[in-house]
Structure 1
Amino acid sequence: MPDQSTAMPPLARTWSPAAALNALKTTLGVIAAWGIVLWQQLPDPFLAPVAVLFLQTPYLGASLRKGLMRVLGTLAGAFLVLVLLAFLIQDRWALIGALSLVVAVSVYMIRNSRYGYAWFMLAITAAIIAGDASLEPSMAFAKAVSRSTEAVVGILVVLVINGLLWPRTGGALYDRTYREALTRLADHMSRLGEAVSAGADGRLPQPPKTLRGAPVQLREILAAAALDSGGFRRLQRTYEAQIDGLAAVLGSLMAFGENLRLAAEGERAFLSAPHRTALGSALLDLATAVERIEQDPGAVVGQPSAAALSAAQECLGRLSAAGPEPQGVAESALLHATAFALKGLIMRVERLADAAVALAAGRSLPVAALAAEVRPPLAERMARALPNALVAAVGFWLMALLWIELQWPPFGVIGVTMVIVVVGVETLANVPVHRRARRLAIGGAAGALLTAPVYFAVMPQLDGFLALSLVLFVFYYPILYFFHALPPPRNVFFLGAGLMAILMVQLQPTQTYSAAGYLGLMLSILTGFIVGITLLGIFGGRSPREHLRRTLRDLLATLDRALGDLADRNRPDFVVTLARYEQRLRADLQSLAEIVPMAYAAQTPANDRERIDALLDAVETLLIRLGALQRARARWSEECGADRENNCPRTDFGRHWREAFQITLRELLRTLDQPRTRAGLAALDANRDFALSEVARVDAIRRGGDPPPGAVYILGIAGHYIGVARGLRTLAEALDAIDWAAWRVPRF
């Protein structure tokens, strides 16, 4: 993932051919939009180039979808304002109240709708048209038509520019990143197989950090690819299943490693050289299957599955014939448990192959193989979106009041609109910690200063649109280059500068130059920025560090509740409940991944980037291990058949572990709430001896005949529980390494 720290990178690191191309597209589009609207003498020509600025993306499909949402939002906003004006034009304060409600609902829906940008445009359009209509009520319909026309002009320009100049698709980036992840996965499997064959039990390799972080990175790319490509959008849930499959293979690999340690260490260790050779060969065969998926997903129908099953059967046969006391697999709980873990790994690779085959054929996986989509509860949706909705409504009302009572700012419509812009830009971000509104405002102030020499000194000397185009190209291109070259949210500064560079040149069909007009427009825009930023700071002005702490706390609390709700693996809705928690944890992890790069602050050098990144890595690893544990429990219940009570008896082994996990999670939560307190691991330490003795006791049963299902279950699942315990210890170390007290600073 790119480094998204707040420090500005050296200029040498900002060079990007893709950014240079995207800046060229955007600059040509803005200039073309200026030419069209000036030629047609539309009343507010700046709207078309502003549309180009906001709609230009690296990918044609994303620009098209965003453009359609802009048109729909603009038309809906215009229609809604015309309806409100028809009934409330004579009652100013009732109209302002109704418009405040419209703005609040729109900002609320930005966070809770997949068409957030359309709602953003609805709010902006409603504010602009209503403001213009308050000055000229008879022109309300004409204003609505002209503004919708200008938006359509901007969209058409973007689509033509993107379609003609090197069109790109976001799906290519996803495919490339996923293939790289598969390559790393196959390499890790190969190294693990070689280590097992060589007898390096205590030095079994762990998945590399880049591989553990791949699911988070792939989900970020998939979100962009789904906007860009209709195929990705149609098969988005199958792609999500593909990413979940990758995480499941990683979790099974980690748990299988723990099972190998159990089988290789202790008094009853049974792995001999033939055992190791069989297990190592199975892992190498699985690595080959993964390589086939990476190389040609369309040609893997049945082949990876057959290779994996063949490797498993060979492994089981060689395990049963090896060792000092040869005996059938059914007579050995420990061998059966090892086979259970290996079969789980094979099954995950098979499902990974199934997803690749389905996507290569352009079809979706069966519904049963897709993760259930669970709508978040109302309280969670309101907590996520309501604060910004209230900020937008209050900001709209406050700016309207200032404009009516104090005649400030000079251009009241622009001031009101900019309040909605800064709040909307902040709300469109998945995580409010980005401080996009503040960066937008600072960039806007810089853009106003940069545009002044062009407006006052250069433009009056020009003759004709061709000369103007050349000057605007030289002026716009560097700003737009850095907008495309820098990663979010650093590029928002240049978005603000580009916005002001378009607004402040004040191009009109009949061009005039006015220092008072320039200063009034600049103050109006900056007033709207200041009001919006101030209200955002009052209602939600938490630092990135505080957002990190709160998001991590929510994630750990969700894990605690999940362990309680999923305690009974035989409950009828176990799979649905698991899917609900997995969806929530994925969202929390994605938010955490966005916050972590912003958390570093130079004034707290103790919390360097390495420690913060280690915290994210520990969380990612823990969630992978926990997900694998719960899926293994679900799989065991599926294999038990209808007679679950007899075939899948409840045991104290898992209950002891889950209780220890929950106690440890609450200790970690206490550390986040009380920064001076270190996380206690006494529950994990106390459970370790019990777990090892229980494994030894169950292993002894294998010498007495057929093991009961509960005994096989304990040995088969033990590696998962031990792996989760290891993950919790790593997370506790990462939490203790952070100086949380240094980050707890007053808001005001």
Structure 2
Amino acid sequence: MQLSRNAKESLKLATALVSVYAIAMGLNWEKPFWAGFAVIVCSQASLGQSLNRAILWIMGTLFALMGGWLIVALFPQDRWLFMIALSLWVASCVYFLQRSRYQYFWITCGYVILLLWDATGGDLSISYEEGILRVQESLLGIVVYGLIAVLIWPNCSRDELDKASAELLEKHRLFAESCFDRIQKQEKVEVRPDKRVELLKTDTRLNAAIDDASSDSYEIWECRKQWNHFGHRSTAVTQSLLKLEESLALSSELGVSKYLSGVDEYIEDIQDRFAQIKHAISAGALADRAVERNIQGDVEKIKELSTFQTAALAITRRSLNDLAVETRFFIDSANDIQQMGRSYLKFPDEGGGYWLGLLMPDPDRLGNVVRVLVGIWIAYLSYLFVPGMIGGLLVVLLITVIAIIAAVSPQIRLFETCIYTILVCLMSAPLYFFVMPKLQGFYSLGLMIFIWTFIVCYLANRAFGTQSMIRTLVLIFPQIIFNFNDYQTYSFVVYTNYVFVLAIIFCILAISRNIPFSSHPERNFKKNVDRLLNSAACLILQGDIPEARRRSILYRLYILYHINIVFIAYKSILYWMDGIDKNRIEGMSRYQMERVISLLMLIANQVKILYGIDKSKMKFVAPKRMMREAFIWRCLAGKILFYLSGKKREVHIDSLRRGYRRIFHRANVDVNELMEMGAYSAKSKEGVSNFLYFLGVTHCINNYLAELFHLSESLDWERFCEERFL
């Protein structure tokens, strides 16, 4: 009989739990639960994910113990200063984990320090001994599960990497083929939101597979730098394809090949590049090096076009050239994997966006930090001032663990999580009261642990997935209730106390999750929409800031903050959309919500492009009259974006409508004059190209703003954001 992957993973987890309990109880350890806890949290869908978690668990535990001992040394007698220092530690961990590649390291750092505090019963004088014991228990769980994951039905991530890379390369090819087909047939290109989302998700999947395969495949580990560079280049190609589709939506009907020279040869070359990259990755062969391509316009023919058409053609030409550059680098990265090349050294700033996102303040991340701290302090003050509080310090520890995990997925339905966890705990009651007292030795106990763990894990994996918070909790809480050890006792009071502890924890979390603002998915969806529109408006308005002000540190931080918001907008909005019940949407239809998201992503992409245009080169060719019109356009576009984000700023809707109709007419410049200026020198040519590109981007933003503006008039955001259920 062929076992499913779910059944195999459940059997591996059950075997690992039985093994660690046998070893821990054989060594007469006081709390074998923490070894079992390490097994549960390290068990993942693939070997690479499990090993990654195991390594991060060890590193996080050691780092947290050093931090805990430092805090104990600094504040051994002052309860309040100790708690403040502990809160700052947890807050730092929660803040960094939300954008870090190594989330589990920060999760472990955040709660292990409270685990140490709980283990000592508040007596920090014995923290060293307890800390060493916790490290031993955690290492036992990690080593045992790691050995079982490697030796029994290993689910290596290399296969997932091969599948993810092949799927992404195929989607790249099909996406480009669709765009090129429209160019050749002179058909209008429609922006396809579903295909764009699929492409972005597949790109994210590839980068995750590279991280996992680097842990469980020696071959991938040896060339991990080359694979990481390949992942970065694939993301760059994905973004170039999305920009190309956006530009073709404006110009495809013009007959691009009529005004741009060498388009047919370009299309054939790019399609060949995608085919070569796919063959290089799948067959392990080297791809032919790509030659540089630069699409040029036919100046005489372009002079026949209107300003709108010239601007659209300019942005299409730039998009085609960008795609040619990125596919050339993509080929180099694929060849690097085969011959251990070092083309990644040409891109020293590839990880710059990661560090910007990690360090830059983010309102959602700060809100999650506040939620965790509120939960910890409510539990701690209750422990101090409520005599004989059920659970004691265990409540503080478990609230910290669950709140930190929830910070990574705040859209999780707390009520649903609570119901499933309590239900599984109640299902464990017959075992606790009627089966366990009659067991004669560890063999019978081990059989019970094996069967229980297999059934719960199998059903939880099938219902919620291997990385679900609910799956982790329904496996952990029964282990707390069973409390396996060499001096097993059974008490109805203890059992009911643990169930009440669980109820208390979820009650406190229900309070803290709405501080400082609601975690309601609809409200956070709207909040992120407003935040994106506000940041887009701020970036658009920064085009004419004096150079002296640009050099100030505060201004640079201000700009970096808004750039970060625009860059993470896609993930933030889609993240909260996943938490919305699509069958109970009020105030708008499902199609309208998806269209809003699509338009926001298009606006975000164009605003990023607009901010990156070199304005100094534009000023070299454009007279003051043109730059003045560009300034007026920025002001009007910024006002519309501010209005859509909910900031009226004393702007009347009628003036916005009239202003929008005049936006592009104010920038209606003489194209023939610009073309003649571009023939003078290379600098003039580059300046003309930048100005036409600027006009093309503004044309895109105008179209998207117009549609979003009209769409917003039919949406009832207040009704959409209303609380409808727990």
Match of 2:238 among 237, 246, 251: 246
Q: CA deviation at 1:485?
A: 3.8
Asked if 1:516 corresponds to 2:493, the answer is yes
Give 1:251 shift.
0.6
Whether the 8 Å contact between 1:622 and 1:724 is mirrored in structure 2 is yes
**Structural mapping, 1:113-192, within 5 Å:** 114=100, 116-134=103-121, 140-170=127-157, 173=160, 176-192=163-179
Deviation at 1:602, TM superposition (A): 4.2
Residues 660-699 of structure 1, C-alpha deviation per residue, up to 9 Å, x if partnerless? 432331232138999x9999654443234455x43xx314
Q: Quick one: which of 619, 638, 653 aligns to 2:600?
A: 619
Among residues 512, 526, 536, which one is paired with 1:559 in the alignment? 536
Check whether the contact 1:192–1:283 (CA below 8 A) recurs between aligned residues. no
Taking the aligned partners of 2:312 and 2:518, their CA distance within structure 1 comes to 55
Which string of whole-angstrom CA distances, capped at 9 and with x for unpartnered residues, describes residues 725-744 of structure 1? 33333444554554312123
Q: Which residue matches 2:291?
A: 305
Amino acid of the structure 2 residue aligned with 1:477:
F
Deviations 1:495-516 (A, max 9, x none): 2211112111221113332212
Query: More deviation in 659-668 or 228-237?
Result: 228-237
Q: CA deviation at 1:41?
A: 1.7
Per-residue Cα deviation, 1:377-399 (whole angstroms, up to 9, x for no partner): 99963855555545545544543
Q: CA 1:620–1:173 in 2, change beyond 3 Å: closer, same or farther?
A: farther
Identify unmatched segments of 5+ residues in structure 2.
Answer: 216-220, 305-309
Given the superposition, is the C-alpha separation of residues 434 and 62 from structure 1 closer, same or farther in structure 2, using an over 3 Å criterion?
same
2:410 alignment partner, one of 432, 435, 442: 432
Which of 276, 282, 285 is the equivalent residue of 2:269?
A: 285
- The residue type paired with residue 661 of structure 1 is A
Q: Residue type matched to 1:432 in 2?
A: P
Residues 396 and 420, structure 1, Cα contact 8 Å, conserved in 2: yes
1:477 corresponding residue in structure 2 = 454
Aligned length in residues? 693
Q: After the TM superposition, which residues 323-472 of structure 1 pair with which residues of structure 2 at under 5 Å, given as runs?
A: 342-358=320-336, 361=340, 363=342, 364-367=344-347, 370=350, 372-373=352-353, 381=361, 383-427=363-407, 429=408, 432-435=410-413, 439-472=416-449
Preserved contact between residue 76 and residue 122 of structure 1 (Cα < 8 Å): yes
Q: For residue 489 of structure 1, report the CA deviation from its aligned partner.
A: 11
Query: Residue type matched to 1:664 in 2?
Result: I
Residues 347 and 211 (structure 1 numbering): CA distance in 2 closer, same or farther, change over 3 Å?
Answer: same
Q: Report if the CA contact (8 A) 1:286-1:346 is conserved.
A: yes
What's the RMSD between the two structures over aligned residues?
Answer: 4.5
Give the Å deviation of 1:517.
Answer: 2.0
The aligned amino acid for 2:17 is V
Q: Matched residues in 1 for 2:26 and 2:529: separation?
A: 54
Match in the other structure for 1:546: 523
Post-superposition offset of 1:122 = 4.0
Report 1:589-628 matches (<5 A): 589-600=570-581, 602-628=583-609
1:102–1:123 contact (8 Å) kept in structure 2: no
Letter in 2 for 1:219: T
- Label 1:350 to 1:682 Cα distance change in 2 as closer, same or farther (>3 A): farther
* CA deviation string 1:77-98 (max 9, x = no partner): 4455556666766x4xx23640
CA deviation profile, 1:49-76 (whole Å, cap 9, x unmatched): 1111111122333333322332343344
Aligned to 2:15: 28
Q: CA deviation at 1:347?
A: 2.8
Name the residue aligned to 1:685.
661
Distance change (3 Å), C-alpha of 1:382 and 1:254: closer
Q: Deviations for 1:614-653, whole angstroms, at most 9, x for unmatched residues? A: 332222233334444555x34x97xx6xxx8646777446
What letter matches 1:670 in structure 2? G
Correspondence for 1:668 among 628, 644, 660: 644
Alpha-carbon displacement from aligned partner over 1:688-735 (angstroms, at most 9, x marks no partner): 4455x43xx314776999586455554455433323333333444554
SS in 2 for 1:411: coil
CA distance, structure 2, for counterparts of residue 85 and residue 712 of structure 1: 63
The answer to whether the 8 A contact 2:588-2:715 is kept is yes
Scaled by the length of structure 1, the TM-score of the pair is 0.78
Cα distance in 2 between the residues matched to 1:176 and 1:335: 37
C-alpha distance in 1 between matches for 2:302 and 2:41: 71
Q: Is the 8 A contact 2:91 2:369 kept in 1?
A: yes
Contact in 1 for aligned 2:116/2:130 (Cα 8 Å) = yes
The equivalent residue for 1:4 is: none
Separation of aligned partners in 1, 2:540 and 2:28 = 65
Secondary structure of 2:411's match? Answer: helix
TM-score (norm 2): 0.81
Question: Distance between the aligned counterparts of 1:417 and 1:394, measured in 2?
Answer: 13
Contact 2:610 2:694 in 1 (8 A): yes
Tell me, which stretches of 5 or more residues in structure 1 are unaligned? Answer: 1-15, 265-270, 327-331
Instruction: State the distance in 2 between where 1:111 and 1:541 align.
Output: 18
Q: Identity of aligned pairs, percent?
A: 16
Counterparts of residues 40-51 of structure 1 (less than 5 Å): 40-51=27-38
Contact 2:286 2:335 in 1 (8 A): yes
Structure 1 pair 219/593, CA: closer, same or farther in 2 (3 Å)? Answer: same
Q: Match for 1:698 among 667, 671, 679?
A: 671
Aligned to 2:60: 73
CA distance in 2, matches of 1:524, 1:718: 62
Q: Alpha carbons of 1:348 and 1:257: their partners in 2 closer, same or farther (altered >3 Å)?
A: farther
Q: Residue 108 of structure 1 is aligned with which of 92, 106, 113?
A: 92
What residue in structure 2 maps to residue 13 of structure 1? none
Separation in 2, partners of 1:251, 1:99: 50
Q: 1:296 to 1:381 in 2, by over 3 A?
A: same
Quick one: distance in 2 between partners of 1:649 and 1:459? 87
Q: Is the 8 A contact 2:71 2:86 kept in 1?
A: no
Greater Cα offset, 528-537 or 35-44? 528-537
Structure 1, residues 377-425: CA drift from partner, whole Å, max 9, x if none?
9996385555554554554454344445544334323222112122222
Work out the CA distance in 1 between the residues paired with 2:175 and 2:372.
Answer: 50
Aligned to 1:11: none
How far did 1:284 drift? Answer: 3.8
Letter in 2 for 1:293: I
Partner residue, 2:307: none
The 3 A distance-change label for structure 1 pair 380 and 137 is: closer
Please report how far the alpha carbon of residue 185 of structure 1 lies from its aligned counterpart in structure 2 after TM superposition. 3.3
**In structure 2, what is the Cα distance between the partners aligned to 1:440 and 1:187?**
40
Inter-partner Cα distance in structure 2 for 1:104 and 1:57? 30
CA distance in 2, matches of 1:338, 1:145: 62
- Whether the 8 Å CA contact 1:73–1:119 is kept in 2: the answer is yes
Alignment of 1:211 with 2:196, yes or no, is: yes
Cα gap change, 1:221 to 1:367, in 2 (>3 Å): closer
Deviations along 1:130-161, whole A, 9 cap, x unmatched? 34434777754433232221111111122112
Q: Structure 1's 493 and 660: CA in aligned 2 closer, same or farther, altered over 3 A? A: same
CA distance in 2, matches of 1:518, 1:630: 60
Cα drift, residue 42 of structure 1: 0.8
Secondary structure class of the residue paired with 1:229: helix
